[in-house]
Amino acid sequence: MKHILFLLFLFTSLAAHSQIAGYTKITDYSILEQEINNNSNKINSIKSDFIQEKKIDYLDVVIESKGKFWYKKESYLRWEYNEPFKYLIAIANGKFSIQDNGKVSVYDVSTNVVFKEINDLILSIAKGNMIKDNKFTIDAYENKTSYLLKLTPKDEKMRKFIQNTEVFISKADLSATKVIMRESATDYTVISFVNKKMNDEIPDTIFIIK
């Protein structure tokens, strides 16, 4: 249960904002959808550093964490926190593995509804094909440099865990640059991807936790 709550903390949004400052809504995003889908087919791997900022109202501070992210087509993923604590999540061969304080826990994605939904959401963002995921209602926005996709789960049960996820996509390479999760009007999590490298060779062993 501890791990499920931690993952929900990382990857869910429990409050949606109706207005997106600086962005204009795209009423017909069929062309954008085709561009993103075509681009996702060209991406075999991603390596990136990430910075996570967590704002909790009662602490009145922003908690910053840093780490590294790997993705390999079709469904390999490694999410590694290095600062200020060490925590590791990996997805490979239908297994969801978590390393915390040296202890490794392994879950079968297909037998746990929460893990499966989180697994599917994370991978769809990594692959860049979240726009064609029929599990979500999509609202699309743009400014001069980026697109913004707001994903709202269609399933009522799922909305208890994920009400809304905002994904920012660079117009330069159509890859995700930032994900925002809002837990309340005052509490939120921002994950920014930096130093990205596309289609570098990544061994399968990177995604195996022992």
Cα 210 from chain centroid? 24
pLDDT in tens, 21-44: 789 999 888 888 888 888 888 888
CATH of the domain at 95: 2.50.20.10
Q: Cα(69)–Cα(50) distance, rounded to whole angstroms?
A: 7
Number of domains in the chain: 1
**pTM metric for this prediction:** 0.76
- Please write the tens of the pLDDT for every residue from 65-120: 999 999 998 888 898 999 888 889 888 888 888 898 889 988 887 776 666 666 67
CB neighbourhood size of 94 (10 A):
13
Q: At what angle do helices 2-11 and 113-127 cross, to 10 degrees?
A: 30
Domain that holds residue 106: 2-207
Rounded distance, CA 116 to CA 75, Å?
A: 12
Q: What is the DSSP string of 180-194?
A: EEESSSS-EEEEEEE
